[in-house]
Amino acid sequence: MRKSIAIYGAGGFGRETALLLQQINAVEPLWDFKGFFDDGLPKNTRLADGLVIGGFQDALDSDIECLVLGIAEGAVRKKLFEGLKRKGFRFPSLIHPSVNRGSGRNHIGQGCLISAGVICTTDIVLDDFVLVNLAVTIGHDVHLQAYTSVMPACHLSGNVSVHTGAFIGTGAKILQGVTIGQRAKVGAGAVVLHDVPPGATAVGVPARIITP
């Protein structure tokens, strides 16, 4: 029996998340998609991918069983979860059928989104509400802490640690053993050779810190 599910966020990534649900259902019909919650669009707005069924209060008032946070910014995901957890939603992790899940020793927390083409290896830990976007590779012993966001085509070498709320831009490469600090940002295409401090921004090849 399909479980009822809605997506919080009807922007670009939210609509990509709706596509992810469709692609999962094409392989195994698990989800009954009810629509989007979004605070920036009027209720009953019809999008190509589904109906906007309300905002924050409508989510609290709904009888939907499961909720996905389809928002790329980790800080927003965290704020929404803190506000919505009292409702008692289940926050399933959605994994595209094409993902190479790697070793059975890998761990994935609740509320994670793992997009098409991702390749995992072994002894990987993804904490709650991690986003791994299209065609990312994740090496051995990588730890992605809660609310981190890894954008498309990034490559994370072995023993990389990405701390809570960090953001890794499209096409970035993180070399072996590097730590990305809490809420740090790595620019698109950067090649990171050394640790990035909490709250800092690293850009370029090789990456350099541009904010304290």
Look up the CATH number of the domain holding residue 79: 3.40.50.20
Note the pLDDT of residue 1. Answer: 81
Rg of the chain, C-alpha, whole Å: 17
Residue listed under structure tokens 């698990």? 30
Asked whether residue 173 falls in the same domain as residue 109, the answer is: yes
Among candidate residues 140, 155, 163, 194, the one labeled active-site is: 140
Among candidate residues 131, 12, 118, 21, the one with its CA nearest the CA of residue 75: 131
Residue 212 lies in a domain: no
Q: Give the total number of structural domains in the chain.
A: 2
Residue 76 lies in a domain: yes
Q: Dump pLDDT digits (tens) for 108-140.
A: 999 999 999 999 999 999 999 999 999 999 999
Residue 207 lies in a domain: no
140 catalytic residue (yes or no)? yes
The sign of the dihedral angle between the CA atoms of 21, 25, 30, 31 is positive
Distance in angstroms (rounded) separating the CA atoms of residues 37 and 20: 17
The residue from 91, 107, 133 where one domain ends is 91
The residue from 91, 113, 133 where one domain ends is 91
Q: In this model, does residue 64 exceed pLDDT 80?
A: yes
Asked whether residue 33 falls in the same domain as residue 80, the answer is: yes
Asked whether residue 100 falls in the same domain as residue 122, the answer is: yes
The residue from 72, 91, 110 where one domain ends is 91
Residue 209 lies in a domain: no
Q: Dump pLDDT digits (tens) for 156-204.
A: 999 999 999 999 999 999 999 999 999 999 999 999 999 999 999 999 9
